[in-house]
């Protein structure tokens, strides 16, 4: 009801302008242009209000009655009739359904009232026919949602054709290429719509199809042509097409380009493709307009045109908010690519992790793009010499909610992250990363070495038990047993060791440092066989310490008290005399 009142208010405002337009021939001077200017400004106001969501198309205002409520309002025993979806029909025998003859000059919102009055005064089939005419009028004015609402309850091939066009022009979901292909097979005039549908669905075949049907494009009403150009030209720019966009823009007068923001956007894209001065500034100006923001971002990215840091921060904040609110996948495509590119490029991974869980992005295309950008950023940062980027990537790997679950790069990324983490001494993070995926022997040995140096000998022993064939781990486990004084454990790990010179020296030197002398004779025998002068010198130093330790470990003879010295000495002298006497 509120929207009806608003429309009636707009109608009353338009009445003076319409009366003034009837007498334009009798008015001269500056006053003659005032009614037209007012009509243009009001028309633009209405279009902008609809684009921004301030006004909504007819039919969207009143919510549909719940089926249960409607059923309750019916008499007892009477069931509500269920609406069946209309089959998609292509009529190859009747008139061409998408004929806009008579609507070429239909470009003002106030012209719609003539059709509304005519439709309301016609009964039966005539009213239905003019309902389709009304939908066509809405299409000619660029009011695609209203056109769809008018056709919501209409059946037949003509209504189906206009519904498909309205859906294509709204550009919120994939265009029905199959329908337009069938229509174009028997109606060559529909080739322009087939080309547009192919391009809207990001298919290269649309370039040639659309190019071959330029005459059909030129016959469309002004607003419809302008909006169609705004859909098609970004796709042509994406494919490096430079001539066809110029041909499309040439179909409009400078005044029309100046009037329509869609055409200004098209011109900015063409200028950027031709490397004209300040063309990128013109495209950037559309970043603040929701209607063009997605495509403007895509165009700037394709042409490698950077944004200012302040603009990036503001725009990124707006996009992150949008991702949490909208469910329109097509609207999010360019914004998502830009946001991920900027976040990944600056090593800001936490927002990427948040994006992966947003309901609006739970579709294969969005998840694929998130995974691609996430992996690209990780690979770059893990290989970087910048420690801050290294740490950002490690933290992202630890925090990954499952983006890498099915990625072929998963194992290598986790191994690289674990290797960096252990190099930085981040024991707990290294353990987390190693639990995420199978770690290689080198990382395991590095982590065990880190734990050995921190005194966590039990952790080293656990690693050696889990990986009995890892030689560096067995050496660390043997050294841990020496530190703990675990002779039995040391014996187990000695059996696994390849007695290389450095391994032997490491064990006997640690044995000497601990003072426990637990290393087996087999290891010392191997040390005794070393021939390298430096290694031999190191081994001999340990041997000397070992002998000294043995000497110190021998029992000491008991000391003789001073009172017993004489008796002891006397016994010695007596023994000497007896021996001497015997000799004589």
The C-alpha atoms of residue 535 and residue 527 are separated, in whole angstroms, by: 9
Query: How many other CB atoms are there within 10 angstroms of residue 391's CB atom?
Result: 17
SS3 530: coil
DSSP 38-105: HHHHHHHHHHHHHHHTSS--TTSSSPPPPHHHHHHHSPTT-PPPPPPPPPP---SSSS-TT--TT-TT
Tokens at residue 306, please?
A: 């950077």
User: What confidence tens digit (pLDDT) does each residue in 492-527 have?
Assistant: 999 999 889 999 999 999 988 888 899 999 999 999
Which whole-number Å values give the CA distances from 370 to 207, 337, 342, 366, 377, in the listed order?
Answer: 29, 8, 12, 6, 11
Backbone CA torsion sign across 206, 207, 209, 211: positive
Distance CA 447, CA 454 (A): 11
Q: Residues of the chain with pLDDT > 70: what percent?
A: 69
Map 444-489 to HEC letters: HHHHHHHHHHCCCHHHHHHHHHHCCCCHHHHHHHHHHHHHHCCHHH
Euclidean distance between CA atoms 341 and 529, whole angstroms: 62
Report the share of the chain in percent with pLDDT over 90.
30
At residue 206, the pLDDT reads: 94
Confidence (pLDDT) at 523: 92
Strands (E) across 185-280 are located at none
Residues 579-583, mean pLDDT to the nearest whole number: 43
Alpha helix ranges (H) inside 359-456: 364-382, 387-399, 410-423, 427-436, 441-453
Report pLDDT for 267: 96
Tokens of 311: 């603009």
> Which two structure tokens, joined as six digits, stand for 15?
């009445």
Q: How far is CA 120 from the centre of its chain?
A: 50
Asked whether the beta carbons of 334 and 313 are under 8 A apart, the reply is no
Q: How confident is the model at residue 563 (pLDDT cuts 50, 70, 90)?
A: low
| The pLDDT of residue 139 is above 70 | yes
- Mean pLDDT for 191-199 is 95
Q: How buried is residue 424: exposed, middle or buried, by Cβ count under 10 Å (0-12/13-18/19+)?
A: middle
Task: Quote the pLDDT of residue 10.
Answer: 46
Per-residue pLDDT, 71? 44
The distance of Cα 436 from the centroid of its chain, to the nearest Å, equals 21
pLDDT at 47: 59
Residue 572, pLDDT above cutoff 50: no
225 vs 251: CA distance, rounded Å: 9
Chain mean position to CA 92: 45
- CA dihedral (539, 544, 547, 549) positive or negative: negative
- Least Cα distance to 396 among 419, 379, 409 occurs for 379
Two structure tokens written together for 85 = 């979806």
Task: Count Cα neighbours of 6 within 13 Å in the Cβ-side half-sphere.
Answer: 12
CA-wise closest residue to 105 among 19, 219, 230:
219
pLDDT band at residue 249, thresholds of 50, 70 and 90?
Answer: very high
Taking the whole predicted model, whether its pTM rises above 0.95 is answered as: no
Nearest to 423 by CA among 388, 455, 458, 449: 449
Give the separation between CA 308 and CA 118, rounded to whole angstroms. Answer: 53
Tens of pLDDT along 294-313?
Answer: 788 778 878 888 766 655 65
Distance CA 450, CA 318 (A): 45
Residue found by looking up tokens 């199959």 in the block = 178
Distance separating alpha carbons of residues 234 and 297, to the nearest angstrom: 11
Backbone angles phi, psi at 129, to 5 degrees: -60, -45
Per the CB < 8 A criterion, the answer to whether 230 and 266 are in contact is: yes
The model's pLDDT over 448-500, given as tens digits with 9 standing for 90+, comes to 888 888 888 988 888 888 888 888 888 999 999 999 999 999 999 999 998 89
The residues, ordered by sequence, that sit 6+ positions from 368 with a Cβ below 8 Å of its Cβ are none
Rounded CA separation 463/456 (Å)? 11
Which stretch of 28-42, 307-321, 402-416, 509-523 has the lowest confidence by average pLDDT?
28-42
Spatial separation of the C-alpha atoms in residues 499 and 504, rounded to whole Å: 6
Q: Are 187 and 215 in contact (CB under 8 A)?
A: no
Provide the CB-side half-sphere exposure for 404 (13 A, CA): 21
In whole angstroms, how large is the CA radius of gyration of the chain? 43
Closest of 491, 459, 494, 457 to residue 475, by C-alpha: 494
Backbone angles phi, psi at 355, to 5 degrees: -60, -40
Of 69-83, 139-153, 373-387, 439-453, the range with the highest mean pLDDT is 373-387
Q: Which of 326, 121, 165, 141 is nearest to 131 (CA)?
A: 121
3-state SS of 296-321 is HHHHHHHCCCCCCHHHHHHHHHHHHH
């Amino acid at each position: 009801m509120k929207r009806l009142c608003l429309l009636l208010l707009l109608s009353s405002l338009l009445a003076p302008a319409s009366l003034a337009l009837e007498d334009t021939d009798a008015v001269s001077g500056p006053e003659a242009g005032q009614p037209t200017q007012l009509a243009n400004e009001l028309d633009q106001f209405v279009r902008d209000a609809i684009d921004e969501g301030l006004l909504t198309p007819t039919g969207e205002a009143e919510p549909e009655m719940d089926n249960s409520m409607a059923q309750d309002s019916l008499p007892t025993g009477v069931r509500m009739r269920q609406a069946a979806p209309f089959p998609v029909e292509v009529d190859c025998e009747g008139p061409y359904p998408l004929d806009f003859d008579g609507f070429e000059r239909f470009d003002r919102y106030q012209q719609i009232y003539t059709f509304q009055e005519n439709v309301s005064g016609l009964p039966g089939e005539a009213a239905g026919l003019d309902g389709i005419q009304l939908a066509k009028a809405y299409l000619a004015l660029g009011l695609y949602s209203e056109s769809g609402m008018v056709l919501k309850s209409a059946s037949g091939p003509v209504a189906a054709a206009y519904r498909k066009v309205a859906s294509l022009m709204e550009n919120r979901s994939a265009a029905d290429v199959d329908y337009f292909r069938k229509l174009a097979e028997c109606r060559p005039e529909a080739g322009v719509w087939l080309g547009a549908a192919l391009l809207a669905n990001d298919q290269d075949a649309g370039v040639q199809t659309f190019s071959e049907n330029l005459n059909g494009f030129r016959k469309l009403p002004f607003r419809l042509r302008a909006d169609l150009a705004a859909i098609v030209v970004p796709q042509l720019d994406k494919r490096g097409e430079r001539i066809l966009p110029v041909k499309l823009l040439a179909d409009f007068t400078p005044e029309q380009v100046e009037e329509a923001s869609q055409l200004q956007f098209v011109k900015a894209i063409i200028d950027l493709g031709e490397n004209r001065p300040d063309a990128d500034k013109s495209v950037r100006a559309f970043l603040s307009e929701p209607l063009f923001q997605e495509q403007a971002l895509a165009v700037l990215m394709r042409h490698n045109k950077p944004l200012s840091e302040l603009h990036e921060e503001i725009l990124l904040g707006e996009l992150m908010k949008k991702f949490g609110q909208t469910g329109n996948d097509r609207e999010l495509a360019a914004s998502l690519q830009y946001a991920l590119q900027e976040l990944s490029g600056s090593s800001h991974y936490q927002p990427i992790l948040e994006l992966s869980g947003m309901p609006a992005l739970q579709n294969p295309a969005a998840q694929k793009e998130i995974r691609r950008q996430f992996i690209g950023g990780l690979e770059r940062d893990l290989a970087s010499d910048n420690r801050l980027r290294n740490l950002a990537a490690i933290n992202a790997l630890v925090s990954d909610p499952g983006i890498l679950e099915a990625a072929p790069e998963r194992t290598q990324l986790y191994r690289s992250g674990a290797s960096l983490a252990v190099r930085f001494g981040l024991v707990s993070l290294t353990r987390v990363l190693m639990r995420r995926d199978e770690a290689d022997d080198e990382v395991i040995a590095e982590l065990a070495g880190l734990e050995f140096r921190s005194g966590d000998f039990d952790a080293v022993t656990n690693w050696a038990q889990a990986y009995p064939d890892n030689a560096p781990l067995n050496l660390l486990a043997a050294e841990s047993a020496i530190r703990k004084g675990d002779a039995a454990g040391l014996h187990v790990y000695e059996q696994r060791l390849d007695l290389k010179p450095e391994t032997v020296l490491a064990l006997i030197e640690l044995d000497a440092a601990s003072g426990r002398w637990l290393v087996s004779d087999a290891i010392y025998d191997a040390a005794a066989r070393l021939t390298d002068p430096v290694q031999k010198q190191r081994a001999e130093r340990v041997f000397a310490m070992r002998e000294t330790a043995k000497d110190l470990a021998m029992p000491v003879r008991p000391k003789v008290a001073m009172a017993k010295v004489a008796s002891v000495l006397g016994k010695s002298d007596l023994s000497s005399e007896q021996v001497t006497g015997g000799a004589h």
